[in-house]
């Protein structure tokens, strides 16, 4: 177990590009806009807006900050991808890789709290959800259940697997996190800033259009 945790720590530091040892980030939005993420050129192009979500992922009473936007050229209206930041002494530490955003469809439809399967505080998100009919919208399948949690200086995305709610045990897992009686923490705030607003706030808007052929 100790060897595994040490390996996770090395992987986290490598993914973060040594960010854990760097000077704290002062402005998560400015950092997000400066990152060179290849998929942004492919799927965003001209930036129309960003969202800033403040949410206590690890249950320590201090919000993590997620900055992200819609990958509008992906062909899906659920393609929201994010960089995440944790407050540290003197500023923030990025807990996601500098060259890759993470996929969380919506912070309004997730569970935030203790994840029983891994005994950690974090976020549970159901992706590729299938319902019986558009009118009834009763969930019958989940394509992929994701557990997001902070560990060893990085945000871990652990794929739990698919759920078929016709199976009693799998439905029990779904209801644990998304049932009517489930208690969950809520995001402190979800804010949207257009590119024009960002310019007025003093930020430089990046050019994520793909290079000319």
Dihedral, CA of residue 81, residue 87, residue 88 and residue 90, to nearest 10: 110
SS3 for 2? helix
Residue 8: pLDDT band by 50, 70, 90 thresholds? Answer: very low
Mean pLDDT over 162-190 rounds to: 94
Q: Is the pLDDT of residue 186 over 90?
A: yes
pTM of this structure: 0.86
Residue 44: pLDDT band by 50, 70, 90 thresholds? Answer: very high
pLDDT in tens, 53-102: 999 999 999 999 999 999 999 988 889 999 999 999 999 999 999 999 99
Share of the chain above pLDDT 70, in %: 88
SS3 for 14? helix
pLDDT in tens, 106-155: 999 899 999 999 999 999 999 988 888 776 778 899 999 999 999 988 99
The confidence score (pLDDT) of residue 80 equals: 95
200 vs 193: CA distance, rounded Å: 10
């Amino acid at each position: 177990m100790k060897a595994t945790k040490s390996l996770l720590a090395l992987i986290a530091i490598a993914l973060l590009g040594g960010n854990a040892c760097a000077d704290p980030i002062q402005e998560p939005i400015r950092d997000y806009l400066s990152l060179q993420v290849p998929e942004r050129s492919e799927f965003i192009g001209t930036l129309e807006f960003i969202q800033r979500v403040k949410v206590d992922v690890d249950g320590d009473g201090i919000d993590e900050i997620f900055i992200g936007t819609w990958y509008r050229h992906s062909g899906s209206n659920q393609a929201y991808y994010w960089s995440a930041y944790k407050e540290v002494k003197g500023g923030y530490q990025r807990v996601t890789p500098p060259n890759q955003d993470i996929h969380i469809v919506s912070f309004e439809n997730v569970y935030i709290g203790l994840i029983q399967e891994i005994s950690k505080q974090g976020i549970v998100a159901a992706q590729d959800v299938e319902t019986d009919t558009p009118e009834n919208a009763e969930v019958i399948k989940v394509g992929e259940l994701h557990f997001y949690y902070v560990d060893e200086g990085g945000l871990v995305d652990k794929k739990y697997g698919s759920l078929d709610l016709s199976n009693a045990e799998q439905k029990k897992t779904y209801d644990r996190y998304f049932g009517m009686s489930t208690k969950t923490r809520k995001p402190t705030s979800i804010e949207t800033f257009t590119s024009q607003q960002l310019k007025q706030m003093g930020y430089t808007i990046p050019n994520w259009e793909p290079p000319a052929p």
